[in-house]
């Protein structure tokens, strides 16, 4: 664990000139004027005690709009993450969604002796292997599909199936492993670094044994965790980590796959991990256009994309729904037939808002959401 | 010569045309006596306006020209030259200001503005009919320059003048060259000592054969005018008198002593930044492990109005040096300094634009930081004024290295007090909205630069003004920043306003450029609108001598012959090379013996009559 | 030793440098890219801290420069290459065809009235006004000579029309005129190429280009200028209504490490203060709000000017950065800012962005070609930042004005005189 002073240095918090631009762009501040990313940092710089006890550190969705807009690149989200680690060490328990089920499941997976049965979704026509060049990291889709079985309009296993379908169509048999465990993203952002390290070890051993050189992810959170956090903890790793949109973009360039031009009107929601955290904006758009989709952008897109409202299952609050509905209304406003997103969590959270009671007619915010990978697989020739 | 007057009424875009009915004015002007042509232009100062004037002079055989537009201050030279180019003596040109004097002040009453414009032009027409051609005098220029002040500005100015081929005398009050920089322990630009950094310049000045150096010397007296100044320089070896063509003022500034502010003068450990630098030079590094700087001590409305420009950057420079300095022994027992992890520079740019987020890219300006010393440095400020490139990058680097910055507002400045044997600063945190306190061992006040006390005397000697801020006041804030309104005298460096060394140096080159122009040309052409004394009416009372602000009047014995009698009497004489045509002497003369060319009593009275309709008999005026 | 000098760029710095040198008896060439000299200063409405009308005080200098017997002005021209060394530079200048005879044209405007190609956005008016295919960039242009926009002219592009040649009584239209290369031989060179205005569209948090009532400061200068496209009447882009509440946002694109402009432009705090004062001078009921990071009033008389803005003109200064949203019903921009860590919103009528001013890309190219070093932002560097601030690393080539570092008009004028002194030193034969 790092000290507050180290955190200030690591995140560049000292660079803050108190201009307040972060506040003006923060989606949380916009809904809740009592919250501002910089207040937490300014308090730390002023040497105030008890920061880790402040509820605000759990309110932040770590969407990184602030960091992306900050003239001096202060990494507010990372600062929050550091404070959460300290908070947990002090015994603070975050108020987790689903009564902490998600995190508990992740912690269970740190036990190397656990028996899993995670490959039930692999239908007979899908070809997978135990060893090979390309590893497809499924992430939490199998577990989450059970928890969110009832959520209207959410199709999680379809993402994994679609990913394998794409690989197979390009003549690739990906490694998919039953030994895979959660990447640990949600623990990492809930202050539980210790268990992330345990999960990392299991995952990295598994990938090493598969002989893969390339690891492809359909989930942006998994990708971020491997590409940034694992390498941060374990040092440089000798794999190529890719999002499936980047992988598909390469396949298109190499002429290995083709699409039925569906000419569907769609709009695209940039997940924060894929966009602001990893800077991947173009690949999903290029691929969508290649499928023949007519891509209509929402007002808030790319770096300025709106947040789906929740991250790491810790920040779901009353104003979350407001943010989500705003985003859905924005999507409906484009006139698109469906909203594409590349993150299963965005899908879950945004659908959550429209599956409950709404302050206005449902049509204003109701638009089908489809995962990027599924959309691509469905368009394959 | 029958007056044939042409009048050009200017719209000045909408500046005049938006409020004054210009076509209507033109029609009226056409009816005035002696006016043979009247026209209007959107911009008379533009090329087509000027061509229109030239063409009309030829076409209508004009012998008087009036432009009714903006201000003679900026535009009279242009229109006069235009008349000259068309073969008309430029003093047969008359300017009528219908913008500043009319349209701009009557924006809300366009009809009355139009009537006023007509009257103003009518006055001009009446005066123009009486204008006479005037000749300007050419005065030779002494090809030598005088530079006052041997700091970086004065030295650079002298060096440039010498390098342009002119003999230059450099006068420095102290026994050594270098000025204010001698007191600076380090410069932010070089990271080296003040004197060490400017030594190459000092050596060049000393070695230059065209520069004559007067150290421990001061300007004692000055007479004359552009091209022909005579300066008395007093030094250790006595006084010398020398003639100069032009003069540059580079006398520098001092640090303000903020007595009564933040405990200065009350507590020993409250010092100014200048004092701190001197202590560093003398090797008396103050023993302190917690240092607070307070910016704008005395400036920006506290005791003085202005911002002193250089303090923020100099504070940051000193703050960073403190961070690097070895902490005093006493600090060892305090919280162990935090070892800094080696900084990874290559943190961001990765293939495909992907970013590694936990290690952050060092912001621009950040250099490899030495390990922190354990000295805590806090800068209380009202906003940091590190304008431009290098200074702003330095500010970024300072935050990176751990200098803390706390903003305050002038309504609620930090308060310095004593707590036992400790200093205390209590302040209000403007973001957190809470009272805070700290206990520094040393408080360094960033006090502004102020004018030197002897400047008042110098300004009188040179007949150049000081501004409200007591700094020397230039001819035009925007376009003549290095000239004085008095011809032949120029300024640069901190005598003008606070500036950094590099800024003082380019200003010095600029002043050298301005000062070399009359030297290169070899002559100056003086104004012709000077005062002239009618010996017959002058009674030698000396009133004019006393009021002339330019010392252009001489009183001398003259022999006057009246029929058979001849006697010696005192008479006034106006030196046309020095006279600026201000008219003060004309007004004071009890006998009406002084007339100012181009503003004669008949001309002015004709204008008044044109306005009021009341004739004033000239005999009454002539006494 | 060639007793001549070349000035690249005829803004206020270039004009001052040329006048100083010419007054010393040195023959000067001034090369200006645009059809008129005057540069950025000619675009400004008024100047701080005296509120002098910018073109009014510059126009006499423009006329002096163009009319000086020792100065040769080459407009619509660009320096292509420089060879040789101090005292003897060979310079290639591309004189672009303006398709109008500079000697014959009087700028009467007959051709412009007849030109059928209308509504070309006028660069001088920051696109707020339009011009024809044959045009004067602005009323006070020097030289007052028309220029044909070869890309837009019907005759030059399609062989049609020919109206201007028919109407011109002086036969000044030269459709066949070709670009030509002029070779100059000079002893010293001063680079004074000034700045460009950064386009804030990519920083979409300010809404420029998306919300009609968000302006750049340079657009605003034209909007309030009596000689501008609206004759100084303030009209909003969305509905031509006169604004009553104006928000000014500072440091748009500057002091921003993310956008790789970490530097401070040095002039924006003051020009926004001036613009707010001018708004109130136009209409008593205008309220101005300035949002800033640090208020930098470091020049002579600047702090006093800012205090006057507060006291006498009711300008409200808020220490916060700000971003912009829009009220979709009336296109009113909504400024979001931060007060002590809490977001606040203010609906205004227009927003003016103090966009960063950047070195010109064409200056970068020229510098690369002739071996002048630049910092990573594209500002031209001096060989010794302390003692020789105007000297480049190439002896005989000097710097003046914003191309060198951010600065205001008097600083550029002082530097221009300084560079003229340095250039004159080169000409001295011992």
pLDDT of B622 above 50: no
Strands (E), B55-183: 64-69, 93-97, 138-140, 144-148, 167-171
Measured in angstroms, the CA of C335 and the nearest CA of chain A are apart by 9
Q: Which residues contact A236 (CB under 8 A, 6 or more apart)?
A: none
Tens digit of pLDDT for each residue in B284-313? 877 889 999 999 999 999 999 999 999 999
**How big, in percent rounded to 5, are the helix, strand and coil portions of chain C?**
25, 30, 45
CA distances from B109 to B18, B114, B116, B497, C282 (A): 11, 9, 11, 41, 15
Instruction: Measure the CA–CA gap between B118 and B318, rounded to whole angstroms.
Output: 64
Q: Which residues contact B457 (CB under 8 A, 6 or more apart)?
A: none
Of B358, B384, B432, the CB nearest to A232: B358
Q: In chain C, which residue's Cα lies nearest the Cα of B522?
A: C24
Report the residue of C294, C318, C321 to disrupt the A interface, i.e. the one with the largest count of A CBs within 10 Å: C321
Task: Report yes or no: C356 and C208 within 8 Å, Cβ to Cβ.
Answer: no
Q: Is A284 helix (H, G, I), strand (E, B) or coil?
A: helix
Cross-chain Cβ contact A14/B396 below 8 Å: no
pLDDT band of residue C134 (cuts 50, 70, 90) is very high
Whether chain C has a CB inside 8 Å of the CB on A43: the answer is no
Instruction: Measure the CA–CA gap between C254 and B559, rounded to whole angstroms.
Output: 74
**Structure tokens belonging to residue B408:** 């305050």
Residue pointed to by tokens 């200001």: B97
Nearest partner of A277 among A217, A340, A203, A338, judged by Cα: A217
Whether chain C has a CB inside 8 Å of the CB on B335: the answer is no
Is the peptide bond preceding residue C143 cis, with omega within 30 degrees of 0? yes
Q: Concatenated DSSP letters for C16-83?
A: HHHHHHHHTT-EEEEE-SSSSS-TGGGG-SEETTTTEEHHHHHHHHHHHHHH-TTEEEE-SEEEEEEE
pLDDT band of residue B559 (cuts 50, 70, 90) is confident
Instruction: Measure the CA–CA gap between B69 and B40, rounded to whole angstroms.
Output: 10
Cross-chain Cβ contact A227/B407 below 8 Å: no
What number is the average pLDDT over the span C362-391?
Answer: 96
Q: In chain C, which residue's Cα lies nearest the Cα of A38?
A: C341
Instruction: Measure the CA–CA gap between B587 and B607, rounded to whole angstroms.
Output: 17
Partners of residue A29 in chain C, C-beta under 8 Å:
342-343
pLDDT of B359 above 60: no
pLDDT value, residue B235: 94
Residues 536-595 of B with CB under 8 A from A: none
pLDDT of B357 above 50: no
Whether chain A has a CB inside 8 Å of the CB on B357: the answer is yes
Adjacency order of strands within the sheet including A214-217: A134-137, A214-217, A240-243
Report the residue of A3, A4, A8, A9 to disrupt the B interface, i.e. the one with the largest count of B CBs within 10 Å: A9
- For chain A, give the mean pLDDT: 92
pLDDT value, residue A107: 92
Tens digit of pLDDT for each residue in B202-251? 999 999 999 999 999 999 999 888 999 999 999 998 999 999 999 999 99
pTM here is: 0.88
Of C257, C321, C343, the CB nearest to A29: C343
pLDDT of B527 above 80: no
Of A34, A36, A304, the CB nearest to C338: A36
Instruction: Measure the CA–CA gap between A59 and A21, rounded to whole angstroms.
Output: 18
What number is the average pLDDT over the span C379-407?
Answer: 97
Instruction: Measure the CA–CA gap between B584 and B566, rounded to whole angstroms.
Output: 31
Pick the more confident residue, A325 or B616. Answer: A325
Task: Report yes or no: A375 and A292 within 8 Å, Cβ to Cβ.
Answer: no
Cross-chain Cβ contact C340/B433 below 8 Å: yes
Report the residue of A16, A17, A226, A243 to disrupt the B interface, i.e. the one with the largest count of B CBs within 10 Å: A17
The verdict on ipTM greater than 0.90 is yes
Task: Report yes or no: B428 and B415 within 8 Å, Cβ to Cβ.
Answer: no
pLDDT value, residue B330: 47
What number is the average pLDDT over the span B384-401?
Answer: 96
Measured in angstroms, the CA of C95 and the nearest CA of chain A are apart by 42
Kindly state the greatest CA–CA separation across chain C. Answer: 74
Cross-chain Cβ contact C307/B432 below 8 Å: no
Instruction: Measure the CA–CA gap between A82 and B219, rounded to whole angstroms.
Output: 67
Q: Is A156 helix (H, G, I), strand (E, B) or coil?
A: coil
Q: Which residues contact B284 (CB under 8 A, 6 or more apart)?
A: none
pLDDT value, residue B580: 84
pLDDT value, residue A321: 87
Pick the more confident residue, C56 or A162. Answer: A162
pLDDT of B338 above 80: no
Lowest mean pLDDT segment, chosen from B336-340, B482-486, C123-127: B336-340
**Sign of the Cα pseudo-torsion (B47, B48, B49, B52, in order):** positive
CA distances from B52 to B31, B87, B88, C108 (A): 20, 14, 14, 11
Q: Which residues contact C23 (CB under 8 A, 6 or more apart)?
A: B517, B520, B521, C70
Radius of gyration of chain B (CA): 32
Task: Report yes or no: B571 and B555 within 8 Å, Cβ to Cβ.
Answer: yes
Cross-chain Cβ contact A73/B363 below 8 Å: yes
pLDDT value, residue B371: 56
Whether chain A has a CB inside 8 Å of the CB on B355: the answer is yes
Measured in angstroms, the CA of B503 and the nearest CA of chain A are apart by 27
Whether chain A has a CB inside 8 Å of the CB on B392: the answer is no
pLDDT band of residue B344 (cuts 50, 70, 90) is very low
Angle (nearest 5°) at CA B593 between B589 and B596: 85
Which residues of A touch chain B, with CB atoms under 8 Å apart?
3, 5-6, 9-12, 14-18, 38-39, 42-43, 45-46, 48, 72-73, 75, 78, 227-229, 231-232, 246, 277-280
Tens digit of pLDDT for each residue in A334-360? 999 999 999 999 999 998 888 777 888
Q: Cα C122 to chain center, whole Å?
A: 14
Predicted confidence pLDDT, tens digits, chain A (381 residues): 678 888 998 899 999 999 999 999 999 998 888 899 999 999 998 989 889 898 889 999 999 999 999 999 999 999 999 999 999 999 988 888 888 888 888 999 999 888 889 999 999 999 999 999 999 999 999 988 988 888 878 889 999 999 999 999 999 999 999 999 999 999 999 999 999 999 999 999 999 999 999 999 999 999 999 999 999 999 999 999 999 999 999 999 999 999 998 889 999 999 999 999 999 999 999 999 999 999 999 999 999 999 888 888 887 877 888 899 999 999 999 999 999 999 999 999 998 888 777 888 888 888 999 999 999 999 998
Tens digit of pLDDT for each residue in C214-252? 999 999 999 999 889 998 999 999 999 999 999 999 999
Partners of residue C296 in chain B, C-beta under 8 Å:
383, 385, 387
pLDDT of C174 above 80: yes
Residue B349 is given by DSSP the state: -
Whether chain A has a CB inside 8 Å of the CB on C153: the answer is no
pLDDT value, residue C148: 98
pLDDT value, residue A310: 87
Tens digit of pLDDT for each residue in B20-37? 999 999 999 999 999 999
Residue pointed to by tokens 């001013």: C357
pLDDT value, residue A99: 80
Residues 53-82 of A with CB under 8 A from C: 68-73
């Amino acid at each position: 664990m790092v000290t507050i002073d180290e955190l200030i240095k690591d995140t560049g918090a000292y660079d803050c000139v108190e201009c307040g631009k972060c506040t003006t762009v923060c989606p949380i501040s916009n809904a809740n004027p009592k919250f501002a990313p910089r207040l937490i940092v300014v308090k730390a710089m002023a040497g105030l005690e008890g920061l880790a006890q402040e509820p605000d550190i759990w309110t932040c969705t770590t969407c990184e709009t602030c960091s992306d807009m900050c003239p001096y690149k202060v990494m507010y989200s990372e600062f929050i993450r550091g404070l959460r680690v300290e908070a947990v060490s002090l015994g603070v328990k975050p108020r987790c969604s689903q009564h902490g089920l998600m995190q508990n499941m992740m912690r269970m997976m740190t036990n190397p002796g656990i028996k899993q049965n995670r490959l039930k979704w692999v239908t007979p026509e899908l070809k997978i292997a135990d060893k090979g060049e390309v590893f497809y990291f499924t992430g939490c889709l199998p577990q989450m599909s059970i928890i969110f079985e009832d959520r209207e309009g959410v199709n999680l296993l379809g993402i994994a199936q679609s990913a394998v379908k794409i690989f197979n169509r390009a003549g690739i048999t990906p490694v998919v492993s039953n030994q895979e465990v959660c990447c640990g993203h949600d623990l990492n952002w809930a202050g539980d670094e210790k268990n992330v390290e345990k999960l990392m070890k299991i995952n990295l051993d598994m990938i090493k044994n598969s002989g893969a050189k390339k690891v492809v992810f359909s989930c942006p959170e998994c990708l971020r965790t491997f590409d940034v956090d694992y390498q941060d903890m374990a040092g440089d790793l000798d794999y190529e980590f890719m999002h499936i949109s980047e992988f598909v973009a390469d396949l298109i360039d190499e002429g290995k796959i083709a699409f039925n031009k569906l000419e569907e009107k769609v709009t695209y929601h940039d997940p924060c991990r894929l966009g602001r955290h990893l800077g991947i904006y173009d690949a999903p758009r290029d691929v969508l256009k290649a499928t023949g989709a007519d891509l209509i952008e929402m007002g808030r897109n790319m770096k300025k994309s709106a947040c789906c409202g929740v991250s790491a299952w810790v920040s779901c609050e009353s104003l979350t729904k407001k943010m989500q509905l705003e985003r859905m209304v924005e999507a409906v406003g484009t006139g698109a037939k469906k909203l594409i997103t590349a993150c299963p969590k965005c899908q879950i959270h945004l659908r959550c808002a429209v599956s409950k009671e709404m302050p206005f007619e449902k049509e204003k915010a109701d638009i089908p959401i489809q995962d990027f990978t599924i959309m691509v697989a469905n368009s394959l020739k | 010569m029958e007056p044939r007057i042409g009048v050009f009424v200017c719209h000045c875009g909408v500046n005049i045309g938006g409020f004054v009915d210009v076509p209507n004015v033109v029609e009226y002007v056409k009816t005035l006596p002696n006016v043979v042509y009247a026209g209007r232009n959107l911009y008379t100062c533009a090329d087509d306006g000027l061509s229109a004037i030239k063409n009309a002079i030829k076409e209508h055989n004009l012998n008087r020209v009036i432009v009714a537009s903006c201000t003679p201050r900026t535009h009279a030279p242009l229109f006069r030259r235009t008349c000259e180019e068309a073969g008309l003596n430029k003093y047969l040109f008359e300017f009528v200001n219908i913008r500043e004097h009319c349209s701009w002040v009557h924006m809300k009453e366009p009809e009355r503005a139009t009537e006023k414009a007509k009257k103003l032009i009518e006055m001009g027409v009446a005066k123009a009919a009486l204008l006479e051609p005037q000749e300007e005098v050419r005065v030779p220029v002494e090809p030598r320059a005088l530079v006052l002040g041997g700091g970086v500005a004065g030295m650079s100015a002298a060096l440039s003048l010498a390098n342009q081929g002119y003999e230059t005398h450099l006068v420095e009050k102290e026994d050594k060259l270098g000025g204010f920089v001698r007191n600076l322990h380090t410069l932010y630009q070089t990271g080296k000592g003040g004197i060490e950094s400017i030594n190459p310049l000092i050596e060049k000045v000393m070695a230059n054969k065209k520069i004559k150096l007067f150290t421990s010397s001061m300007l004692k007296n000055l007479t004359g005018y552009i091209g022909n100044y005579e300066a008395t320089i007093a030094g250790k070896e006595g006084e010398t008198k020398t003639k100069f063509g032009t003069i540059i003022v580079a006398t520098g500034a001092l640090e303000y002593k903020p007595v009564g502010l933040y405990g200065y003068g009350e507590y020993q450990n409250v010092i100014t930044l200048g004092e701190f630098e001197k202590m560093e030079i003398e090797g008396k590094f103050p023993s302190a492990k917690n240092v607070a700087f307070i910016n704008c001590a005395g400036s920006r409305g506290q005791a003085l109005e202005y911002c002193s420009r250089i303090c923020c950057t100099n504070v940051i420079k000193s703050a960073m040096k403190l961070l690097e300095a070895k902490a005093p022994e006493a600090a060892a027992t305090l919280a162990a300094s935090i070892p800094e992890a080696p900084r990874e520079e290559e943190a961001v740019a990765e293939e495909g634009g992907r970013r590694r987020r936990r290690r952050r890219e060092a912001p621009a300006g950040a250099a490899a930081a030495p390990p922190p010393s354990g000295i805590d440095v806090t800068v209380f400020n009202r906003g940091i004024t590190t304008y431009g490139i290098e200074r702003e990058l330095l500010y970024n680097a300072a935050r990176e290295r751990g200098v803390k910055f706390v903003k305050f507002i002038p309504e609620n400045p930090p308060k310095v007090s004593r707590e036992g044997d400790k200093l205390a600063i209590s302040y209000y945190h403007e973001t957190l909205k809470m009272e805070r306190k700290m206990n520094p061992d040393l408080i360094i006040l960033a006090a502004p630069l102020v004018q030197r006390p002897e400047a008042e005397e110098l300004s009188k000697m040179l007949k150049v003004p000081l501004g409200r801020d007591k700094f020397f006041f230039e001819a035009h804030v925007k376009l003549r920043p290095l000239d004085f309104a008095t011809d032949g005298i120029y300024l640069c460096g901190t005598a003008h306003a606070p500036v950094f060394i590099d800024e003082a140096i380019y200003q010095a080159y600029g002043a050298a450029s301005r000062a070399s122009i009359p030297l290169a040309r070899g002559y100056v052409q003086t104004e012709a609108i000077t005062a002239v004394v009618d010996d017959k009416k002058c009674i030698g009372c000396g009133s004019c001598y006393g009021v002339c602000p330019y010392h252009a009047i001489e009183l001398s014995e003259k022999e006057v012959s009246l029929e058979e009698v001849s006697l010696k009497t005192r008479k006034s004489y106006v030196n046309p090379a020095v006279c600026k045509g201000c008219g003060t002497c004309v007004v004071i003369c009890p006998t009406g013996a002084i007339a100012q060319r181009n503003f004669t009593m008949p001309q002015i009275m004709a204008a008044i009559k044109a306005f009021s309709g009341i004739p004033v008999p000239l005999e009454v005026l002539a006494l | 030793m060639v007793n001549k000098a070349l000035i690249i760029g005829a803004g206020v710095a270039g004009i001052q440098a040329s006048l100083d040198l010419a007054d010393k008896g040195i023959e000067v060439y001034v090369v200006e890219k645009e059809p008129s000299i005057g540069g950025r200063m000619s675009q400004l409405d008024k100047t701080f801290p005296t509120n002098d009308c910018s073109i009014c005080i510059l126009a006499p200098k423009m006329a002096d420069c163009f009319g000086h017997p020792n100065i040769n002005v080459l407009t619509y021209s660009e320096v292509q290459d420089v060879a040789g060394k101090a005292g003897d530079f060979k310079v290639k200048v591309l004189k672009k065809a303006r398709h109008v005879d500079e000697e014959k044209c009087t700028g009467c405007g007959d051709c412009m009235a007849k030109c059928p190609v209308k509504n070309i956005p006028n660069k001088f008016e920051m696109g707020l006004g339009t011009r024809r295919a044959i045009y004067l960039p602005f009323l006070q242009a020097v030289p007052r000579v028309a220029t044909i926009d070869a890309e837009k002219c019907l005759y030059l592009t399609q062989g049609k029309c020919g109206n201007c040649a028919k109407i011109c009584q002086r036969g000044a239209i030269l459709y066949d005129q070709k670009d030509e290369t002029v070779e100059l031989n000079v002893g010293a060179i001063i680079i004074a190429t000034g700045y460009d205005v950064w386009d804030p569209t990519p920083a979409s948090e300010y809404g420029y280009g998306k919300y009609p009532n968000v302006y750049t400061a340079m657009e605003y200068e034209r909007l309030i200028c009596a000689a501008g496209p609206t004759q100084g009447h303030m009209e909003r882009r969305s509905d031509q209504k006169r604004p009553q509440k104006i928000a000014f946002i500072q440091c748009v694109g500057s002091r921003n490490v993310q956008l790789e402009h970490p530097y401070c432009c040095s002039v924006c705090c003051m020009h926004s203060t001036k613009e707010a004062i001018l708004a109130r001078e136009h209409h008593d009921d205008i309220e101005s709000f300035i949002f800033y990071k640090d208020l930098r009033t470091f020049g002579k008389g600047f702090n006093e000017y800012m205090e006057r803005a507060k006291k006498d003109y009711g300008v409200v200064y808020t220490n916060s950065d700000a971003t912009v949203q829009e009220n979709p019903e009336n296109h009113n921009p909504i400024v979001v800012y931060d007060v002590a860590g809490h977001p606040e919103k203010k609906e205004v009528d227009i927003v003016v962005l103090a966009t960063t001013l950047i070195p010109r890309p064409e200056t970068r190219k020229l510098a690369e070609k002739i071996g002048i070093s630049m910092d990573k932002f594209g500002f031209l560097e001096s060989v010794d930042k302390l003692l020789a601030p105007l000297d480049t690393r190439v002896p005989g080539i000097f710097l003046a004005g914003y191309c060198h570092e951010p600065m205001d008009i008097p600083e550029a004028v002082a530097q221009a005189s300084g560079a003229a002194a340095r250039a004159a030193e080169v000409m001295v034969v011992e």
